[in-house]
Chain A
């Protein structure tokens, strides 16, 4: 055959992910993640990738498509379907001075590597003093009709482990800058990329290979005076949509995107509450003992005298994410739920 067909994936075979931006230079969240990995691998030879089907297949979501051709099998390593081995290898090679970025096909499956995550990754530095520059990546979150094994928000599991930073970007620019910060961080970092955002959200992303977004800093995505919505991940987009609708009805909503959920930016949260006196804590992780519970508790402790209404939480119940579309919609906070919660708070 004279012609060969190259299937256009996310990053393209052997091509820089940047070449996969839109014509006007915007990057999707997924491409931004690929760019960050590519640039960090070019910058630092110690950075390598490992995970299931990330090499020849280019990853379940095609984030690492083209990486094998460019960086070779030693730095883009396909592993067996054993998460415990993936995390264990990452930890061991980090002890020896490498900077691994391990991918879970779905963040849900990190539970199979949980012993290595909690017992080794989170503890080893405290035990031995050696740095543990490991990044664990995984697609998280629901809203994509993927059922209970492929829709989990595991950020509280790992935030509770202690010793591991947990990052949940909502926008392509943050996704890129935070992943680069995570790779350069000497601590283990869990980097959760929300699969609902992957191809839905795009924006102009810096091409500066050293533009980092610091871990642990929130960003106010929308300024407002009446009610603060503290959120992260895909819920940021729902909050912004609700805020726009509420603005038309005369309620001014501030949206604080935590970006990092552990350690999270307490000052930014308190500043916002000081301004609006009304707090809606919105998260896609479970309500019970979830990230939202932690944020709400801190507001109650530290901003008591700034509150004009009780702190309200909006998060799913402690149940598996349902497969049935109407049930999944009922399970996840929707724009209408957010609007109703803000209305309740402002009317309190």
Chain B
């Protein structure tokens, strides 16, 4: 890991001199003043092909208690029990309303809250795609409207192959001329790394911003503002107070994160550019790059799709699933097939649970990386909202009812974690609740307006997060 300051970052983003002023503006970030002084970030991760429900859900609603035993799919997340909110009983109603009976076509609906919109290029019976922006791109756009000018408005990442068209997670808006309106995801961590952190000259910059010196200078400014405030009176109080608050928040950031807190991760390696065979390695690299980008405030929003159908797992004797990598040996089974095969006996069922558990472990890796970043009195995880969703409920039935959502972090105080909430269809309402209300909750927790996200007939916000 190498430390750097923003000047190095500007160069590192690989833009020419003409672009520099614009990009420098882009580094205008911090926060619309969360009390912590650190911005609230949103990371959405989507895993593929549903879960095995009997081993996924914790047993009791209310205070979250995760079983750490071998039969629990969420066991790797046990260390984060107090920082997790697990929500069940939600459905991709917008997908069903689009007459897409097969969850093959569910992907564009997972992160969108509006009814689907017709598009050209239907696949496998699918005639509709997302009809409004997905939560990640909507939040990124709204943050920008609030004046947060991130160099990269959001990261749109995808492991493995994707077909395009119907398999986009991040949707920019309704189709245009019947074509899907979505950004092409980054699929290669190496090119992403180069784009974000490449070509850095750290020799002078790393030393140019000393943590203690910055803190001393900011402390001096605070003292002088204290004196000034007493002299200029109420007429100018708001001007001085705003300045004082900004100095205090910046000092918190500087002290809490080691200088700017901006660190360049190790460059991704171990696979050829564009190679999707080692999908676990790619997922890991995306997590590292995402955390580094958040830490450097290059962006505040990321969407990581683990939804490509190229996952390959083996099941060695140690009882855990092992994702294909250069140093593993087969035989491998593809994850898509595993999800389909749960009707084929106990071993197939066990394998599905192990695959779910592997994804939970990978999510835990991301959470741990965020929790390792100290920010003031908390961590990056405390100041973030990290969502693990699934493109369907279970892989065998291809159902989109009871989609599992695991929400981690504190959201700068906007989330009340450590709970399990399950909405269960009852006598009065036999349908699962639309997941759109949860997306609206996430929107509000990020401090942005939900207008435009939920352009449809579904429920409003649920208020389930706080």
Partners in one complex: no
List chain B positions with a Cβ less than 8 A from chain A: none
Q: Give me the interface of A with B, judged by CB distance under 8 Å.
A: none
